[in-house]
Structure 1
């Protein structure tokens, strides 16, 4: 059987890159064209032959005795294949051109840039705040990895913050939520994000307070696991009391790897996994999050954020510039960041907008470079994919039903905006849909389509390198879980059956499951 190659991939990274990009060796040739059906009809970017090939590539494995071909290449041809170290999340996609690598490096310098308050002699760097949570993108996403809650009262909360909102009360607010013009109603004084830092001469909004209660879970083999249940509040408020109906929701910074590849997934591949009414009766009813896409003004599938509140890397980046650092961009041009009309002292502070540079503190092409950087942080290569213990854990992962939410793999669109992201076999282990995770994980704060107990399935790729990169093993949206096992035990709602099955596993099987997760 003859298989054709696209020559541009050979130029980008040689024949091996081409094979990884197309996944041509992932199916047995004798059965590749056996079906007369035309699978994946929604993939309008693919030929009929490609659709058959891709469907075969994405089929669930029938045996777990060996690793699937190219399973170790989590990010396709973009995968970083070097020895993982503390900078494993900070490498560029390995199939970028020389010119694209230069753009990545410029974006890197802007991502790590420390912004300063206005006015300043460093006019290319002023505009911080006036209220903020961090002075740079890197401050939250340390080494482009996972944030964590403060270790104690004296530890910085810089990689974690609180989202704020109140219930809608007026017809205008209900209409704004219905149209997706807003995904939540900000707290009237403190806005949409609680900011614990401020420029000189201005009072910060206050500080986040976390208390924990310990809960015991006894596993079937007698092992006792202590879970910590957090409670969140605020103290030392700088601008008066909050609305009595305010809803607080914590967020730790998620890892940055593979974002451009996620955006390159064909949206209909994700929508095909949705089952909002649980028509197949498996107890899993993932729902899409629909949000407004900034540039088109049309509804688009939310992919980024803990509740899938942003459809593109650019929109996610612009929101972080504004909310986290208080820096305006062409996408979010508010120069005073999250300051509200009930904070007149904040609105009276100088900004970093300079007419000679543009209308915002980070004018074009700053956001473009940062977006390109964020979209091209490579996913590290998996480890130990052929290890018998890891393979046994992978089989358990499938038997427990985990792929119902943590969809293992996709082949990205041929029409992706960046050529390095086109037609890549990737392994993010997420369906990018909203799932009800039960009362234990509920923040009771709706955002757009996401209810107060729903969360987007987070990608698992790179999760086994969290300690290597960030020096901790704290997981979930608020870092409450201190291990992968604790994270599993917090699963409820749609994932409760899988969680209960893990509780019933023996010690060796549970160890194999964790070994598989640590290989990702």
Structure 2
């Protein structure tokens, strides 16, 4: 009898203890984070720093040689290029037409650019792509006849810049199911003061914001087969989502490869992304892109350059290593109940169908520290139709004018700390996470409407979760 009494006493205490637990008022089941959920970039690609330098750390598991190359690449990424000839021969050759004087002009502290805040503000990380509807032999769309594939609004001394652009906004409201309204703004771009002739009548103009740099090597390390497994071009499962891979021209191998980088996944590798930015944004030639960007018909033969090419392969490779090995900031507040509830709602409203939370990298990536890492990038790197409201009508290889690559969400909550702003989407039109969600359309319409039908409290939990990434 004494034994039975002790057992009854034990179970009674268990019941009393449960009823007095921290969730007795809410009556909700206590959610728990996944194991190692804080390691957004895996255990070897995550940094634990939430300061304004949060995007600028390398994996502590890099080799000594890689750490040295990281430092050199960092210096070429951050320091300004100058016009040739100059005593700093390793950094001369700027322009003659360009958008920025350094990589960090657009990716300040390895972070995210923004639209200009006033007319004439330069080097903020927004540029205008220009292309024609015809394709080249590799399937890429042709650059605009006179000005090439982007408008360069700065020129070196003695040269007239290509032109300028201004932004105006149209404002309207999106209404939630509970009647709450949110103001959205749609940018309108006007190109003015063209110095080398008119634009082609069939040109498409696509604004592109410089994204945060973290985790690029980890994204490159994802096996192609893994990403293709998320593809559903014909929407065979009937969920309204039909992501597809972009296949683009790889300059190094001279073959078609899966695109992973850029707003339309139009670059197959970190190396080509970096070399393309040197060429288009700063006017620095490389072995990948050896030709200067000058307006068609313009004689640039008398303009001095910084060598042929202006950045050596050795230096380019160090900048590529730097860009590839930037760690991803660890999650913040990931154990808190409102964040965990937001994560649950994020999945329930179907955001996670494109923003894939957890992926494992390959076992063969050239940066050994990034092999076999369980990462949480919140992307599938595929193209999705995002609807007419976000369309730029500018095709890019297999991407049509409505399609955009799913952007990784990791690090998004630290953009205000690093870059002192919250502008999101490909052109910075969204002024915060909430506006970015409300701009979703096309394949994301169901997810957006599910979000709009949540209570204000639950909507805030989803937003807080995204900002914890």
When the two structures are superposed, what TM-score results if normalisation uses the length of structure 1? 0.83
Instruction: Find out whether 1:342 has 2:297 as its counterpart.
Output: yes
Q: Compared with structure 1, are the counterparts of its residues 128 and 222 closer, same or farther at alpha carbon in structure 2 (3 Å cutoff)?
A: same
> Are 2:136 and 2:142, in contact at CA under 8 Å, matched by a contact in 1?
no
Q: Which residue of 1 aligns with 2:390?
A: 441
Q: Which residue of 2 aligns with 1:273?
A: 230
Q: Compared with structure 1, are the counterparts of its residues 64 and 462 closer, same or farther at alpha carbon in structure 2 (3 Å cutoff)?
A: farther
Which deviations, in whole Å up to 9, do the C-alpha atoms of 1:30-72 show, x marking residues without a partner?
Answer: xxxxxxxxxxxxxxxxxxxxxxxxxxxxxxxxx9821110111
Q: Which residue of 2 aligns with 1:251?
A: 208
> Are 2:147 and 2:296, in contact at CA under 8 Å, matched by a contact in 1?
no
Q: Which residue of 2 aligns with 1:241?
A: 198
Which deviations, in whole Å up to 9, do the C-alpha atoms of 1:349-372 show, x marking residues without a partner?
Answer: 22111xxxxx31111201100000
Q: 1:149 aligns with which of 101, 115, 120?
A: 115
Instruction: Find out whether 1:431 has 2:385 as its counterpart.
Output: no
Instruction: Find out whether 1:164 has 2:164 as its counterpart.
Output: no
Tell which deviates more after alignment, 370-379 or 212-221. 212-221
Q: Compared with structure 1, are the counterparts of its residues 81 and 320 closer, same or farther at alpha carbon in structure 2 (3 Å cutoff)?
A: closer
> Are 2:100 and 2:106, in contact at CA under 8 Å, matched by a contact in 1?
yes
Distance (Å, rounded) in 2 between the aligned partners of 1:481 and 1:105: 34
Q: Which residue of 2 aligns with 1:93?
A: 59
Q: Residue 74 of structure 1: CA displacement? A: 0.4
Instruction: Find out whether 1:75 has 2:75 as its counterpart.
Output: no
Q: 2:306 aligns with which of 352, 377, 384?
A: 352
Q: Residue 223 of structure 1: CA displacement? A: 2.0
Question: SS in structure 2 opposite 1:322?
Answer: helix
Q: 1:66 aligns with which of 23, 32, 37?
A: 32
> Are 2:46 and 2:330, in contact at CA under 8 Å, matched by a contact in 1?
yes
Q: Residue 300 of structure 1: CA displacement? A: 1.3
Q: Which residue of 2 aligns with 1:502?
A: 451
Q: Compared with structure 1, are the counterparts of its residues 81 and 371 closer, same or farther at alpha carbon in structure 2 (3 Å cutoff)?
A: closer
Q: Which residue of 2 aligns with 1:332?
A: 289
Q: Which residue of 2 aligns with 1:48?
A: none
Distance (Å, rounded) in 1 between the aligned partners of 2:397 and 2:271: 19
Q: 1:110 aligns with which of 51, 59, 76?
A: 76
Distance (Å, rounded) in 2 between the aligned partners of 1:343 and 1:68: 59
Alignment of 1:8-27 (within 5 A): none
Distance (Å, rounded) in 2 between the aligned partners of 1:498 and 1:115: 44
Q: Which residue of 1 aligns with 2:280?
A: 323
> Are 2:100 and 2:123, in contact at CA under 8 Å, matched by a contact in 1?
no
Q: Residue 504 of structure 1: CA displacement? A: 1.2
Which deviations, in whole Å up to 9, do the C-alpha atoms of 1:84-111 show, x marking residues without a partner?
Answer: 1100001112321233211111110111
Instruction: Find out whether 1:231 has 2:188 as its counterpart.
Output: yes
Q: Compared with structure 1, are the counterparts of its residues 165 and 81 closer, same or farther at alpha carbon in structure 2 (3 Å cutoff)?
A: closer
Which deviations, in whole Å up to 9, do the C-alpha atoms of 1:202-261 show, x marking residues without a partner?
Answer: 000111111101111121222221000111120111112111111110011001000000
Distance (Å, rounded) in 1 between the aligned partners of 2:77 and 2:318: 9
Question: SS in structure 2 opposite 1:447?
Answer: coil
Q: 1:129 aligns with which of 90, 95, 117?
A: 95
Alignment of 1:467-482 (within 5 A): 467-482=416-431
Distance (Å, rounded) in 1 between the aligned partners of 2:332 and 2:258: 32
5+ residue gaps, structure 1, are 1-62, 169-173, 354-358
